[in-house]
Chain A
Amino acid sequence: EAEVAQSPRYKITEKSQAVAFWCDPISGHATLYWYRQILGQGPELLVQFQDESVVDDSQLPKDRFSAERLKGVDSTLKIQPAELGDSAMYLCASSSRAGGYNEQFFGPGTRLTVL
């Protein structure tokens, strides 16, 4: 069964360091999403890609966060420098196309701890 892959599963870093997370969506899925899930809360969208283009990054803290999907397949989310408040689960999801009628398939997430 096709799955969304994410790595690493866990990351511990010190504040002011740089971190990067990787996501490989289900093959053929044009839409890719990065979410941040703070403990005890629901996921919040950080950025949405349609193929290689960003279609929504309104909630992405652009002073420290960046995301790319250069070939329209896998994607990288970077934080530089990391802050204590960035500790959270970072979830990647993909869907065959954008829109509420299409299921989003989620990866297992990367749990980030910033010390």
Chain B
Amino acid sequence: GNSVTQMEGPVTLSEEAFLTINCTYTATGYPSLFWYVQYPGEGLQLLLKATKADDKGSNKGFEATYRKETTSFHLEKGSVQVSDSAVYFCALSEAGNQFYFGTGTSLTVIP
């Protein structure tokens, strides 16, 4: 079946540090991959996505590359800001089917 495994948190970084949040997936076909972000008290917002192998999704300085050979979609940012503090969810979906979310990784960035 389909599933997503995320690096467990919480993660605490200093401002301007490099961020990596690991995500690996299991899928029966060829899924699309997503990163969603959830700020305190809010719903989830799409951060970036990739629909096929070797695609790179990017937004707001965040990047993730769809790696079919390692079944991974790790989230990276070169220099985090306090405003990036949130919970990050990796997710997958195969066309026409439901989304599967990881358990989320909480990020706190301290000044």
Q: Which of A's residues lie within 8 Å of B, judged by CB? A: 4, 6, 33, 40-45, 48, 56, 91, 93, 98-101, 103-109
B99 interfacial contact with A, CB 8 Å: yes
Whether A99 contacts B93 by the Cβ 8 Å rule is: yes
Residues of A within 8 A of B41 (CB): 108
B103 interfacial contact with A, CB 8 Å: yes
A40-B103, A42-B89, A101-B51 are contacts. A106–B45 as well, Cβ < 8 Å?
Answer: yes
Residues of B within 8 A of A56 (CB): 98
Contact of A99 among B36, B91, B96, B104 (CB under 8 A): B96
Whether B103 contacts A100 by the Cβ 8 Å rule is: no
Shortest A105–chain B CB gap in Å is 8
Contact of B44 among A43, A45, A98, A101 (CB under 8 A): A43
Size of the chain B interface, CB-CB below 8 angstroms:
26
Residues of A within 8 A of B51 (CB): 100-101
B46 interfacial contact with A, CB 8 Å: yes
Contact of B104 among A41, A45, A91 (CB under 8 A): A41
Residues of B within 8 A of A103 (CB): 46, 49
Contact of A45 among B45, B49, B99, B102 (CB under 8 A): B99
Alpha-carbon separation in the docked complex, A109 to B91 (Å): 18
Alpha-carbon separation in the docked complex, A93 to B44 (Å): 9
Residues of A within 8 A of B43 (CB): 4, 6, 91, 93, 106-109
Shortest A9–chain B CB gap in Å is 9
Residues of A within 8 A of B42 (CB): 108-109
Q: Interface code B25-37, partner A: CB below 8 Å = 1, 0 otherwise?
A: 0000001100010
Whether B32 contacts A40 by the Cβ 8 Å rule is: no
Extra inter-chain contacts (14) besides given A91-B44, A100-B32, A108-B41, CB under 8 Å: A33-B98, A40-B103, A42-B4, A42-B89, A42-B91, A44-B101, A48-B98, A100-B94, A100-B95, A101-B95, A103-B46, A106-B36, A107-B43, A108-B42
